[in-house]
Amino acid sequence: MPERTRTDTGTPAESPLGDLGRRLATRRVQLGLTLPEAATRAGMAPSYLKYLEEHPGAAPGRGTLLGLADVLETTVSELAGGAVDLPPGLEQAARSPEFTELGAGECRSLLGTHGVGRIAVSTDSGPVVVPVNYSVVDDAIVFRTASGATPSLAVGRRVAFEVDRIDDAFSRGWSVLVRGHGRAVADSGEARRLADGAHSRPWAGGERELWVRIDMQAVTGRRITV
């Protein structure tokens, strides 16, 4: 099979409009596949895959979806959005899985530059875990929140931050755990630099102008492969 790691995949020329198109394009780019590569492996013309990615009214048959799901290492349910309200990990464990510890370098690579992770903080009623949009800047986890919101309780405390990826189609995945001390970004220049470089606003919306920084004091990770 041709090597999947490429640097010229980029994003689709036109933003996919429908749910199926967004999922197809997003998964294709995640795997490092160009549109022609994915189409060839799925046995279809690149123009047809481009049509599926860019037209919300596209309704491919189940055979086409099965072929695309195989090429994109996912499931028809995931491509069709049927699992959007379900937690990952519903499939059965694979035969002969391998469990390995990840090195610090690979952990930092998996953390990437931005995404959604979970932060664990202490509250008056006990520990709470909530998701946040985050970035990695200067070897630290940074995210925006609102003063008084649960994530803001990370300020001035030792906290845990976790990111993971679960692949239901192949019963494999990884997780990275960061432990460190949270602090508010008080310097206006630093806060402005973080805001200017942010990939997006927090998905939760609203006014969330408090930047929180977690310096990574300990980073560990695990991977399950087949």
**Could you list the pLDDT tens digit for every one of the 226 residues in the chain?**
333 333 344 444 444 445 889 889 988 998 899 999 999 999 999 999 999 999 888 889 888 999 999 999 888 888 887 666 666 666 667 677 788 999 989 999 999 878 899 999 998 889 999 999 999 988 899 999 999 999 999 999 999 999 998 877 667 789 999 999 999 998 888 888 888 877 777 878 778 889 999 999 999 999 988 7
- Please report whether residue 32 resides in a domain: yes
Among 80, 112, 127, where does a domain finish? 80
- pLDDT at residue number 74: 86
- Please report whether residue 88 resides in a domain: no
Which alpha helices (DSSP H) does 102-208 contain, by range? 104-111, 188-197
Q: DSSP labels for 5-41?
A: --S-----SS---SHHHHHHHHHHHHTT--HHHHHHH
- Please report whether residue 33 resides in a domain: yes
Which alpha helices (DSSP H) does the chain contain, by range? 19-30, 35-42, 46-54, 62-71, 76-80, 104-111, 188-197
Give the separation between CA 41 and CA 23, rounded to whole angstroms: 17
CATH, residue 28: 1.10.260.40
- pLDDT at residue number 39: 94
- Please report whether residue 9 resides in a domain: no
Verify that 75 and 116 share a domain, yes or no: no
Tell me the pTM.
0.67
Counting the structural domains of the chain, the total is 2
The distance from CA 192 to its chain's CA centroid, rounded to whole angstroms, is 25
Give me the domain span that covers residue 126.
98-225
Please count the CA atoms within 13 angstroms of the CA of 20 that sit on its side-chain side.
21
